Amino acid sequence: MKSSIGFIGLGIMGKPMALNLIRAGQNVTAFDINKAAVEQVKEAGAKSAFSIQEAAENNEVIITMLPSAKHVKEVLFGTDGVAAFAKPGTIVIDMSSLSPVDSVDIANELRKKDIHMMDAPVSGGEPKAIDGTLSIMVGGGESEFAATKHIFDILGSETVLVGDSGSGATAKLANQIIVNLNIAAMSEALVLAAKADIDIEKMYQAIRGGLAGSTVLDAKVPMILDRNFKPGGRIDINLKDITNVMDTAHSIGVPLPLTSQLLEIFHALKADGKATDDHGGIVQYYEKLAHVEVGRK
């Protein structure tokens, strides 16, 4: 099945996702303020858009993959935004990580223009965006989900319609708690082992097959051992997500003591100039406290 797709946002995650859609034979019109990124996807077979209007009009599906709710709202509702040019019946899939409140508000505003919206944040970082094996959690209508399932199948290996608008965003907040606290716990363990002067790589091999083993462990330990903090999931983006987690939790009366500490760790890392590092760089917070660096023997 082939769709005409306007893809807006060609960053760390968006560009490989757009490339996968192109390779799968979808008709993609791409827009980003980064013209070099637009040129890259154009060379792969996309039609380049020089404005949001070009990305929005005459496409049946619009995908946004942007840093924050502010950016999504500007793209959708600005003077020259998607809502001004998309035809009735268009489906907007926002794959950014927003708060459930923002996702529901956006869906309600778009509905006034007879534009359907699904919140569909992803998990897996840049590696899984590149190989098309993202986990995708979707909030929205069943008919819109059925109409776009072939798109999700190109981008991810697991896509679940969680519920109505905002449900995908809520699931992503839960995901971010688990992932980032997992990295923090792993970091504490690695720093303990480094301070005890044991071989971290051998320790990793010893524990990865047991209950401590995880996708996070396998993804992040090799990066930390190589001192590779090139971002797949940036600290500042995860700080934004965990801020959304805490705001949402407080609004519905849910205390999250561990996550609140994690938020302060992210703020400390940002203040220390680590905002654009991968969130595996959480280890640097603990290294600084213990005066030790995790690395290979």
Residues identified as active-site:
172
Residue pair 246/239 in contact (Cβ under 8 Å)? The answer is: no
Strand ranges (E), 102-154: 116-119, 122-123, 134-139
Alpha-carbon separation of residue 101 from 48, 67, 221, 288 (angstroms): 32, 16, 35, 36
CB atoms within 10 A of CB 47: 17
DSSP helix/strand/coil, 219: helix
What CA–CA distance (Å, rounded) separates 90 from 190? 48
CB atoms within 10 A of CB 192: 15
By CB atoms closer than 10 A (0-12, 13-18, 19+), residue 218 is exposed
